[in-house]
Every structure is written in structure tokens, then in C-alpha cells.
Chains A and B, each alone.
Chain A
């Protein structure tokens, strides 16, 4: 069994007057079923040009309503560059230059593909998905 741990630290000394903000959390990523660590993943990087809409992860190979985690980082350095993070056609938020995100994903139905769209500039992103199960497309005959 593989072991994947994901930790986050959020800190600020000047967001909350009179107190330091310090959030620390860590979890071990488990498959759906919960006692076995995730054993599948894929990762990569890409350039997403302005107005280009890309499918980062198709929903078909995933198990419906399973347990998955997605990491995306926008490595662009121009503060005006950003991409939209979308599930199917729904925009969830904008990932600006230097931002990263880490979210669960449950591949809920046949319309739950993960998409990103470049809004300004050519964005350099890196991404990973940690998976409960994944079925590769069958080879063409």
C-alpha cells in the first residue's frame, strides 16, 4: 500500500489584528473504502494559452462518486495571468500566477470533467491527480 500525505500551512502575521494566523493540517489520502492508501496518480505540466479551454482530467476513466484529489499550480509569474478552474461547464474560481490549489474530486457523473481555461497570457501550469481507481481507454483495434 502506498502512503501519500498532504500537508498545508497557512500563516499571516498581519491579517488578524493582534494575533498571528497559523493553520496547519495534514492528511493521508485514502481510497474510497477508506482503509487503503491511494495507489494511482498522474502528474504533468502544460501551457494554457489565453482563451484556450483544456480538459485536464476526463471523468470517464474515474469511478463515479469516488475519492480523488487534484493539485494544480499556476507557475506563471506575471500577476495578471490566470486560468479558470472548471468542473464541466461550471467555473469554480480563478487560479492566478503563483497560486496553487488542492481539492477533492468525486467524479460525480458523466459531466464532471476537470477543465482549465486560460484568461490572460500563456499560463504554465503543473498538475497532479491522486486516484482511487482509473481505467485507461481501451486500445483501438
Chain B
């Protein structure tokens, strides 16, 4: 059993008092005290067009489990972004279901049930790089 810890820290002066969020989780299998022990590995992908791309194929994963997906737009340009969608092949503003827009430098960590692909699309033909890593609660080995 592996131990994977993830800590979030949010600091803000939006309110008239300091807003602080600090939380650490240990990634566990669904409904279990046992930690996740599989990953598809850290990947980076350079995009130079606005074409849709699948970054996580759900058929490589066990359905309805406690997968976790980390994604970061490594670009420095805050004017550009990636659409990230829970969709078989398409990512845009309206396709069911857009998760959100990840601007340059932004990151996300989300639970993922593994039932549908995760697709992305760059907002620009300028070069943007996405890094992502799936922490899996069950990987299905590719058929030979």
C-alpha cells in the first residue's frame, strides 16, 4: 500500500479578515482505509492548436472508483486557458460536461469516477503545456 498525501493551502484577503484554508488528505481507495497504489504517471503534453484531446481514457480505469486527477496549465500567460471537460472527446464551453477553464499557471485536483474520458482543448494556437497525473483506484491492463 502506498501513501500519497495532498495538501492544499489557500490564502486570501478577499474578506475583511484573513481567509485561510489548509487541508491534507491521504488518497485512499473507495470506501477503504487503504491508500491508492497505482498511477498512470506524470505526463506533459504540448498543445499548439485548439483541437480537442483526450488526456484520460476511462476504459483504462475501473469504473466508479476513487480516482484523483491533478492537472496544471504550466504556461505563464494568464490570457490563455484550457477547457477541461468530463466528456468522451470534446472540451468547450457548453459540451456536457465542462468542468472549467484552467488558465496559465492554474492547477486543479479533483475526484474522478473513471466512467467517462477527460478531454481538454486549448483556447489558443499559441504553445501551451499541460501537465497531469492520475492517481488510480484500479487500472485495467491493456488487452494484448
Interfacial residues, chain A to chain B (CB-CB below 8 A) = 2-16, 21, 23, 25, 27-30, 34-35, 38-41, 43, 65, 67-69, 71, 73, 79-80, 82, 85, 87-88, 90-96, 98-106, 108-109, 112, 120, 128, 130
> Which residues on A sit within 8 Å (CB–CB) of B135?
15
Asked whether, in the complex, the Cβ of A23 is within 8 Å of the Cβ of B70, the reply is yes
Kindly state the separation between the CA atoms of A61 and B113 in the bound complex, as whole angstroms. Answer: 28
Kindly state the separation between the CA atoms of A85 and B97 in the bound complex, as whole angstroms. Answer: 12
Asked whether, in the complex, the Cβ of A101 is within 8 Å of the Cβ of B9, the reply is no
Known: A27-B105, A130-B14. A80 touches B23 (CB 8 A): no
Partner of A41, one of B15, B23, B98: B15
Partner of B105, one of A21, A28, A128: A28
Asked whether, in the complex, the Cβ of B31 is within 8 Å of the Cβ of A105, the reply is no
Partner of B66, one of A40, A90, A96: A96
Partner of B12, one of A3, A67, A98: A3
> Which residues on B sit within 8 Å (CB–CB) of A7?
8-10
Asked whether, in the complex, the Cβ of A6 is within 8 Å of the Cβ of B39, the reply is no
Asked whether, in the complex, the Cβ of A71 is within 8 Å of the Cβ of B2, the reply is no
Taking A73-B23, A96-B28 as given, write out 8 further A-B residue pairs in contact, using a Cβ cutoff of 8 Å, ordered by the A residue number: A8-B9, A30-B103, A87-B97, A93-B67, A99-B111, A102-B110, A104-B84, A104-B99
Kindly state the separation between the CA atoms of A91 and B105 in the bound complex, as whole angstroms. Answer: 27
Asked whether, in the complex, the Cβ of A71 is within 8 Å of the Cβ of B31, the reply is no
Asked whether, in the complex, the Cβ of A103 is within 8 Å of the Cβ of B30, the reply is no
Interface centre among B8, B14, B25 (most CB of A within 10 A): B14
Kindly state the separation between the CA atoms of A67 and B79 in the bound complex, as whole angstroms. Answer: 12
Asked whether, in the complex, the Cβ of A5 is within 8 Å of the Cβ of B12, the reply is yes
Partner of A105, one of B39, B67, B70, B100: B100
Kindly state the separation between the CA atoms of A87 and B99 in the bound complex, as whole angstroms. Answer: 8
Asked whether, in the complex, the Cβ of A104 is within 8 Å of the Cβ of B8, the reply is no
**What's the nearest-Cβ distance from chain B to residue A107, in Å?**
9
Which residues of B (87-128) have their CB < 8 Å from a CB of A? 93-94, 96-103, 105-113, 115
A-B contact pairs, 22 of them (CB 8 A): A4-B10, A5-B10, A7-B10, A9-B6, A10-B133, A12-B4, A15-B39, A29-B106, A65-B93, A71-B8, A90-B96, A92-B112, A98-B26, A100-B23, A104-B99, A104-B106, A105-B99, A106-B83, A106-B101, A109-B94, A128-B19, A130-B14
